[in-house]
Amino acid sequence: MAECICNGCRNLKRLIDDEGKETYECSFGFPSDKCEECDEEECDIVCDNYEEDSDEADYILVTCKDCGRELKKMYNDSNEPEGEVFCIDCYLKRQL
């Protein structure tokens, strides 16, 4: 058996209700009816909507316009320029 495919999927979102109870919901619906109530650590289910959940996948490296410091910026699918990028120190200096 392999690790549950939902454990490492970006589409699985943690939800907390008003009473503090923690549940999980998939953006595309679970790949099997067994997944929503599953307490198992392992399974062999395959999901067509699986997308690896990686912290580094959401960022691109950019540089501060003033000092050249490398910064992590949220990745934007549109690939359109969003204006100048400044680190927090340079941004605050410009505000004074």
Tens digits of per-residue pLDDT, 9-60? 888 888 887 887 888 888 888 888 777 677 666 777 888 888 887 655 567 7
Q: Please tell me which residue, 79 or 87, carries the higher pLDDT value.
A: 87
Q: Is the pLDDT of residue 4 over 70?
A: yes
Instruction: Please tell me the predicted confidence (pLDDT) of residue 2.
Output: 62
Nearest to 43 by CA among 79, 1, 82: 1
| Burial (CB count <10 Å: 0-12, 13-18, 19+), residue 30 | buried
The more confident residue out of 54 and 1 is: 54
- At residue 38, the 3 state secondary structure works out as coil
* The pLDDT value given to residue 57: 56
pTM exceeds 0.75, yes or no: no
pLDDT tens readout for residues 68-83? 999 887 766 555 556 7
Q: What are φ and ψ of residue 63, in 5° steps?
A: -120, 150
Give one word for 55, left, alpha or beta, with left for phi > 0 and alpha for psi -120 to 50: alpha
- Checking if the pLDDT of 96 tops 70, the result is yes
Judged on CB neighbours under 10 Å (0-12, 13-18, 19+), 12 is buried
- Residue boundaries of the structural domains of the chain: 2-43, 55-95
